Chain A
Amino acid sequence: EPEVTQTPSHQVTQMGQEVILRCVPISNHLYFYWYRQILGQKVEFLVSFYNNEISEKSEIFDDQFSVERPDGSNFTLKIRSTKLEDSAMYFCASDLRTGLYNEQFFGPGTRLTVL
């Protein structure tokens, strides 16, 4: 069964450093997402991406964040200058959207720890 994959599984960085989280969505999917989950809290939407541009973003997704689909398979989330409060699990998701309702398939996540 196809699945969303994410690398690395765990990223440790110093405050102020840039990080890039990587995702490979399911190959025929067209819509891509990033969510985050601070430890013990609910999953929060960050951004959605379709046709090589951001289609929707949340208030969390400020100028420090950017997304990119550099090639036909990868989807990345960059945090330019990490803060302590960026420590969280980051989940990538994708869906096909053939109709009005499509489940989003989630990857296993990247645990980001900012020291």
Chain B
Amino acid sequence: GESVGLHLPTLSVQEGDNSIINCAYSNSASDYFIWYKQESGKGPQFIIDIRSNMDKRQGQRVTVLLNKTVKHLSLQIAATQPGDSAVYFCAERTSGSRLTFGEGTQLTVNP
């Protein structure tokens, strides 16, 4: 399953499928990007980050892709599990220390 930009706030997939969550960021000067997972009632939890001088980074079951040409970031989750159900936010850092968060995508994994 795949979400399209920030206009599709929900993504529903079957357990075991791969998930792709997309994010359009706003500032071409941003040099660092992070994906956070937020479960209900909890704070954002770091998933994976990527620097602007990279276009791909892999973690455990997750891959982040960065396309600076179109200012697009995606998070791929392999073999999605029920525990992956959460809201996923991309965040960019432009200067200094502040993170600017995207709107978020609610991922629901159906057993």
Residue ID in chain B nearest A106 by CB atoms: B43
Interface size class of B (residues with CB under 8 A): 20 to 34
Decide yes or no whether A105 CB sits under 8 A from chain B: yes
A43-75 near B? 1/0 per residue, CB < 8 Å = 111001010000110100000000000000000
Chain B residues near A97: list those with CB within 8 A: 97
A104 to B97, CA, bound (A): 10
A66-100 near B? 1/0 per residue, CB < 8 Å = 00000000000000000000000001010001001
Task: State whether B46 touches A42 (Cβ < 8 A).
Answer: no
Task: State whether B104 touches A107 (Cβ < 8 A).
Answer: no
Task: State whether B97 touches A31 (Cβ < 8 A).
Answer: yes
Q: Which one, A43, A48, A56, contacts B44 given CB within 8 A?
A: A43
User: What is the interface size of chain A, counting residues whose CB is below 8 A from a CB of the partner?
Assistant: 25
Given known A91-B44, A103-B34, contact A42–B103 (CB-CB < 8 A): yes
Chain B residues near A58: list those with CB within 8 A: 98
- A90 to chain B minimum Cβ distance, whole angstroms, is 10
Decide yes or no whether B96 CB sits under 8 A from chain A: yes
Q: Which one, A31, A42, A101, A107, contacts B89 given CB within 8 A?
A: A42
Task: State whether A103 touches B98 (Cβ < 8 A).
Answer: no
A sample of 17 inter-chain contacts (CB < 8 A) reads A33-B98, A35-B99, A42-B89, A42-B103, A43-B44, A45-B99, A55-B97, A91-B43, A91-B44, A100-B32, A101-B49, A101-B51, A103-B46, A104-B99, A106-B43, A108-B41, A108-B42
Chain A contact residues, CB within 8 Å of chain B: 4, 31, 33, 35, 42-45, 48, 50, 55-56, 58, 91, 93, 97, 100-101, 103-109
Chain B contact residues, CB within 8 Å of chain A: 31-32, 34, 36, 41-46, 49, 51, 89, 91, 96-104
Q: Beyond A42-B89, A56-B97, A109-B43: 14 further Cβ-contacts under 8 Å? A: A35-B99, A42-B101, A43-B44, A43-B89, A43-B101, A45-B98, A93-B43, A97-B97, A100-B51, A101-B51, A103-B34, A103-B49, A107-B43, A108-B43
